[in-house]
């Protein structure tokens, strides 16, 4: 057996299409997960004990079960409650809900890490709760949660490979089909590994750049 690069070249349009689907689902799913996670964190902080308890239980269940099982429940179990989704919407929903549970904990920890004295200072000068959130909690929390949020973003990127199980036409599914049809599993897996490695490195670089910019902005505006 030998590595045949021509198999990859011949199937390049399909590979590019699968890669674009992967990136699209990853970006949309990450944005939706971050927004939903932030809302959950805010609701748990300001919604009272009952809301905190209920949402805390939901988050614990989502974090305590594998993403594969969750995506099966969304795609195959959805019709039992009247929720029939095509593979891509089901995959996007599953990725968003799964990521939201982790993002909510990241944001909640970020809120808790903001010094109480800063909040009390805002209250002393007559700031409303909304002003305290916008001017004190959010700016400081963003700096604190950026590194773990970046890690979670990379985790969600890798989890997109699981969506091939429900026939989402992302890159893993595309390359698996090419490998089976052309008996070129090594070539397919090599391309898949390089693709995810490039995405991880690019995301890490952008995250480091964002952290540097935010640090400078915070320093010069302190």
> Residue ranges of the domains in the chain?
5-10+27-220
Q: 148-184 b/e with 16+ CB inside 10 Å = b?
A: bbbebbbebbebbbbbbebebbbbbbbbbbbbeebeb
For the entire predicted model, the pTM comes to 0.88
Handedness of CA 181, 183, 188, 189 (dihedral sign): positive
Confidence band of 203 (pLDDT split at 50, 70, 90): very high
Q: Is the pLDDT reported for residue 198 higher than 90?
A: yes
Can you name the CATH fold of 5-10+27-220? MetI-like fold (1.10.3720)
Looking at every residue in the chain, the average pLDDT score rounds to 89
Candidate from 72-86, 89-103, 118-132, 189-203 with smallest mean pLDDT: 118-132
């Amino acid at each position: 057996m030998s590595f045949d690069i021509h198999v990859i070249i011949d199937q390049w349009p399909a590979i590019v299409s699968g890669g674009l689907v992967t990136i699209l689902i990853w970006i949309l799913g990450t944005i939706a997960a971050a927004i939903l996670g932030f809302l959950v964190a805010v609701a748990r902080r300001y919604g009272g004990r009952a809301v905190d308890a209920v949402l805390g239980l939901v988050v614990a269940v989502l974090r305590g079960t594998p993403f594969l099982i969750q995506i099966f429940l969304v795609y195959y179990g959805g019709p039992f409650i009247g929720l029939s989704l095509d593979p891509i919407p089901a995959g996007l929903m599953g990725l968003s809900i799964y990521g939201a549970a982790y993002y909510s904990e990241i944001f909640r920890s970020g809120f808790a890490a903001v010094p109480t004295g800063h909040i009390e200072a805002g209250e002393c000068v007559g700031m409303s709760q909304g002003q305290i959130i916008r001017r004190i909690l959010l700016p400081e929390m963003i700096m604190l949660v950026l590194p773990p949020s970046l890690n979670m973003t990379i985790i969600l990127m890798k989890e997109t490979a699981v969506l091939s199980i429900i026939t989402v036409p992302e890159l893993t599914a595309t390359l698996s089909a090419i490998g089976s049809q052309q008996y070129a599993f090594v070539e397919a897996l090599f391309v898949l590994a390089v693709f995810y490695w490039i995405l991880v490195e690019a995301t890490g670089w952008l995250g480091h750049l964002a952290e540097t910019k935010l640090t400078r902005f915070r320093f010069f505006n302190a």
